[in-house]
Amino acid sequence: MKRVSVELIPREPKQLREELEFLQSYKDRIDIINIPDLLRFETRSWEGAAIAQEYFPVSMPHIRAMDVDLEKPLSMQGFLREKHIREVLVIEGDPPQDMGHETFPTTSTDVIRKFRAEMPEVRVFAGIDQYRGSMRHERRRVQRKMLAGAAGFFTQPFFDMRYLEIYQDMLQGVEVYWGVSPVLSLRSQSYWERKNNVVFPMNFEPTLAWSIAFSKRVMEFADKQGSSLYLMPIRTNLEEYIKGVFEAL
């Protein structure tokens, strides 16, 4: 397997540091810390990534395309260079809850090109959303992002190995981080179905045990394929989930 990335939510610096301290026990298994950019928290993704770099050699902030004004230099450019952050993940971003937060009609492809022009030393990754439309359309999005300069891709969480294998076949030769995330309640399952158009397999169970077992299957798959893994412990006990995934392998 190439690399393993773990996503941590930057709710506030103290909690982020506590989670990073815990993950130190698995430093030989974890290569990257991903930090999403969630506007409801004061800590921006690049600030959280700077904290993460105190604990892990590589951290990757998420950059929301709709926050980027193409007519101005990248606002986080100076900070990224100062903190020696050399990898970012560009996503479209969700509309802000705060109507006073300014957004722009900027796409991920626009921002990938902008990074390549203004910060050529940074490896820019992009997202794959395997649930937003047809595979044919998603493949075209992947191709456009690669032409813009994307170095690789992070997927939305998979819950079905058969679906993942179809995407793996479609993305031969592309650097991919296969996403997995725990879903631990019927309410959470319903959210994924309604919000993200996920179709869960018949054997799915909204339990920690099922999520850990599936994450291990994806890890083994990534290891055999020479690709990478993206763990997203959303709304779960980080310690229980990470211990379950990495121990007794």
Q: Domains of the chain: which residue ranges?
A: 4-179
Q: Structure pTM? A: 0.95
Question: How far apart are alpha carbons 212 and 4 in whole angstroms?
Answer: 15
* 4-179 topology per CATH: TIM Barrel (3.20.20)
Residue 32: pLDDT over 60? yes
Assess whether pLDDT exceeds 70 at residue 222: yes
Q: Write the pLDDT tens digit of every residue in 173-186.
A: 999 999 999 999 99
**Integer angstrom CA distances of residue 194 from 56, 187, 190:** 36, 11, 6
User: What token pair was written down for 218?
Assistant: 């994806």
34-38 average pLDDT score: 97
pLDDT above 90: residue 96:
no
Picking from 74, 72, 178, the residue whose alpha carbon sits closest to that of residue 118 is: 74
Closest CA to 62 of 99, 82, 30, 87: 87
Q: Is 203 exposed, middle or buried (0-12, 13-18, 19+ CB in 10 A)?
A: exposed
